[in-house]
Structure 1
């Protein structure tokens, strides 16, 4: 499998899965492409933010503090803020954003645009040996953070509680992303020292991603069930 195929295939599979959850009014491909393109652009914005936010850690920093800064301040914060910024810029006023699940779907496509760029760069740097683990963990993580972000993005649009839900969209996505990265960064130095730590790291990471899947599927179910098109065809609402 080529590097490009290994980078793109998990993204395509996840796109198909989340698109298939859109039961009542399918989103137009051009708007989904716009969201995905926003995600690609957000990857470059995230680099700019991460560089501007970086600072040298004191030599006396504990392993936990260093892992926290790496996982939250240097990764989760700039990446999720960048994805949110492009989601808001490209989708908030789009006429096709007209029901609850749309927010999730567009946020997932933004997140997968980001993940596609990141996945390609990681595989180019580290080789195909990490392709499977990224396909099972890192790429889905971005999509699941997109579900969380999109869930509250829709609530901000359709419930009238804009500011509080937009804050939740960003902050909860940062939290989910940061916890995932923290597990990896905190345990990574000890993995080579003990097979038990390696096993613990694997169990925790897969367990956390599994938990995010459970939470995300519940949020998807909630928004699909609240669709304005559940009992009315789109043309009946015009």
Structure 2
């Protein structure tokens, strides 16, 4: 039961965040590649766990709780550096080399996918190491911060992929990997002190990471919106030429630079509020469905298949379906707006 609850508290938030990021992509990535990237992110958690165990066995003084400096070095060398380096290598050597990686925003898509796959399995390991309370707290806080590190890393890798200047390219890679390591280390160090006064810093780090990731994501989304609009006008012009015949004199290519562009739009605060409420509600509903499954298993052991089916049917009809539909509708409504003009320059 404990493992099932942890699974619901980690997998559901990760899927909700991925759902939002994918929905904002004007040029969707191949589903098979996204699934492979998510699974590779999940499995790269295993070598990170091996590195963590090796470092902590080699330097047992790092595991002493309470001291902030000790927690910082432990978070940096046993968690942040190996975790983010593995995710960076997967993003840079695998996802970036795929032909589908053809615009800067793709770095965000695949970076977030890798990080959320990694977070899903990493948080499950905390059920055996700590108590359920710590595991659930990490599930609620670590999933967003892992998404933030993936977006930050992916945004800079996406920029680097389309940069010809070698020095600027190196700068983008350093900022992406370094920023992800810094966020990861600050977040985990605040939790590894096992003190409430320091652990509260994890919320501040979470907010800082999400704000940073949001600004990068928003800027790349604006660029994609403009590109999408220009391509749409180009297709409309081509369709008109095919219908009416080519113009007598072809327009110079530079004329497209003066094409009036629709101002990019972003979700309003009300839409974002609906997204957050819907996402949190769907995460809770994931626990309700897992609870119904657990009830079915218990009733099956006690009363056989008939009693188990009756209990499960009652749980699905009166506990699971209605709130899931309501929160799913709220989340979908948030994706549809309202929209406001973007403030990104």
TM-score w.r.t. length of structure 2: 0.59
Match of 2:17 among 14, 19, 26: 14
Matches within 5 A, 1:49-198: 49-54=51-56, 55-56=58-59, 63-126=67-130, 128-160=132-164, 161-186=168-193, 188=194, 190-191=195-196, 197=197
CA contact (8 A) 1:57 1:66 kept: no
- 1:40 deviates by 1.4
TM-score w.r.t. length of structure 1: 0.83
Which residue pairs with 1:194 in the alignment? none
Say yes or no: does 1:209 pair with 2:206: yes
- 1:138 deviates by 0.7
Q: For 1:208 and 1:126, how far apart are their aligned partners in 2?
A: 22
Query: More relative contact order in 1 or in 2 (CA 8 Å, sep 6+)?
Result: 1
- 1:16 deviates by 0.8
Q: For 1:185 and 1:5, how far apart are their aligned partners in 2?
A: 24
Question: Does the C-alpha gap of structure 1 residues 58 and 208 become closer, same or farther in structure 2, counting only changes over 3 Å?
Answer: closer
CA contact (8 A) 1:112 1:143 kept: yes
Q: For 1:130 and 1:21, how far apart are their aligned partners in 2?
A: 32
Q: Deviations over 1:13-62 (max 9, x none)?
A: 1111211221x211111111121122012211212333455532559x99
CA contact (8 A) 2:68 2:190 kept: no
Between structure 1 and structure 2, the one with the greater Rg is: 2
RMSD: 2.5
CA contact (8 A) 1:144 1:212 kept: yes
Say yes or no: does 1:34 pair with 2:36: yes
- 1:229 deviates by 3.1
Q: Secondary structure at the residue paired with 2:228?
A: coil
- 1:184 deviates by 1.9
Which residue pairs with 2:228 in the alignment? 229
Ranges in structure 1 where 5+ consecutive residues have no aligned partner: 192-196
Q: For 1:216 and 1:209, how far apart are their aligned partners in 2?
A: 11
More moved, 168-177 vs 42-51:
42-51
- 1:124 deviates by 4.6
Q: For 1:6 and 1:38, how far apart are their aligned partners in 2?
A: 21
- 1:131 deviates by 5.0
